Amino acid sequence: MTVKIGMMSFAHLHAHSYASCVNQLPDAKLVGIADDDMDRARAMADHFHTRVFGSYHDLLSSDIEAVIIASENARHRELTEMAAAAGKHVLSEKPLATTAADGLAMISACRKAGVFLMTAFPCRFSPAMQRLKAACDAGKIGAIVAIRGTNRGSNPGGWFNQKKLSGGGAVMDHTVHVTDLMRWLTSSEVADVYAEIGNGFYHQDYDDAGFLTMTFENGVFATLDASWSRTKSFPFWGDVTMAVVGEGGVLTLDMFSQNIVHYSDADMRVYWHNWGSNIDLALIGAFVQSVANHTVPPVTGEDGLRAAEVAFAAYQSAEEGAPVKIKRN
């Protein structure tokens, strides 16, 4: 069975990778692209050798079975509800939504329509992360006591710096990935969050740095550096790292450390070119298999909402200057 997929928007930086991954899978087909920016839609359709649709409605009226939504964060709800109403399964870019109400509405719309909603958390599909998860599940370091995580990246610019479209800055962008991994490792939810958030790197009206401390319901304590602290001259876009402290040992993860170091005289820069596993390809492959086999995706809309709730609580904590207990909807 070949799963027919449409792309809804190329606003997000990851859209290019996701479309490329669809074209690499033997059991998937990129049927077409729709976007608010028609020039971008035409360019991407030409690049990926597929069809451009004049509107989201036209795309959803075609014979596709699923969509990948890679719009601005604030538009995830609108596009997900459109796709669900048309009976299409949804893979939504992260963060799932910019408010809890929007996330709940997305989950509800897909549930009522009988379609799957998957959150784009490719880090779960990292072979190194999966080995770390397996080692923890096997009790290699005993019960987990604490986790130190980082997601330090470059400032993507554009609409990511516009709160109306992004929902926030670095904390919104970089909290959810590692929080999801921590939830997955501990099989527990975050109970409370304390956060310090600032704009000390770019001094603009969006946050570019955040440091979170979290307590999980099972007692695990965690910290997370969620920032856009990588400079323009840094060799790689960013990182995902964790140190998992157990009663009997410590396991460390550096997800993107498989690099070729490139010293370029052309522009006097050093670059790290990753040669490791393509976690985006694994993510898209899992979505395709979920649709093809009609099985619940390994990363659900609920997973996306739980991780996003931590970012929402972090902003509240920074504003109030106190820890915030997470109230789940």
Same domain, 181 and 196: yes
Task: Note the pLDDT of residue 144.
Answer: 98
Per-residue confidence (pLDDT) for residue 253, from 0 to 100: 98
What is the arithmetic mean of pLDDT over 306-312? Answer: 98
* pLDDT score at 86: 98
* Same domain assignment for residues 77 and 97: yes
Q: What is the pLDDT of residue 232?
A: 87
Contact 206, 161 (CB under 8 A): yes
For residue 281, give every residue at least 6 positions away whose Cβ sits within 8 Å of its Cβ, in sequence order, or none.
21, 24, 25
Do both 63 and 91 map to the same domain?
yes
Q: Are residues 127 and 189 in the same domain?
A: yes
Q: Are residues 175 and 38 in the same domain?
A: no
Using alpha carbons only, what angle is made at residue 177 by residues 235 and 70, rounded to the nearest 5 degrees?
A: 85
| 244 and 113 within one domain | no
Regarding whether 91 and 13 lie in a shared domain, the answer is yes
Same domain, 189 and 134: yes
Whether residues 131 and 269 share a domain: the answer is: yes
Q: Are residues 179 and 239 in the same domain?
A: yes
Q: Evaluate if residue 329 carries a pLDDT over 80.
A: no
Measuring CA to CA, how many Å separate 92 from each of 227, 231, 243, 264? 22, 28, 28, 36
List, for residues 77-107, the tens digit of each pLDDT value: 999 999 999 999 999 999 999 999 999 999 9
Q: How many domains does the chain have?
A: 2
Q: What's the CATH number where 236 sits?
A: 3.30.360.10
The whole-angstrom separation of Cα 38 and Cα 204 is 30
pLDDT (mean) for 9-37: 98
Q: In this structure, are 263 and 154 located in the same domain?
A: yes
Please provide the DSSP assignment of 279-327 as one string. Answer: HHHHHHHHHHHHHHHT---SSBHHHHHHHHHHHHHHHHHHHHTS-EEPP
Residue-wise pLDDT tens digits, 143-183: 999 999 999 999 999 999 999 999 999 999 999 999 999 99
d(CA 117, CA 63): 19
- What is the pTM (predicted TM-score) of this model? 0.96
User: Tokens standing for 272?
Assistant: 């790290």
116: containing domain: 3-122+280-300
* Residue range 271-304, pLDDT digits in tens: 999 999 999 999 999 999 999 999 999 999 999 9
> Which domain CATH number covers 92?
3.40.50.720
Distant-in-sequence, close-in-space partners of 243: CB < 8 Å, separation ≥ 6? 147, 148, 149, 250, 251, 252, 253
Residues 94 and 217 in one domain: no
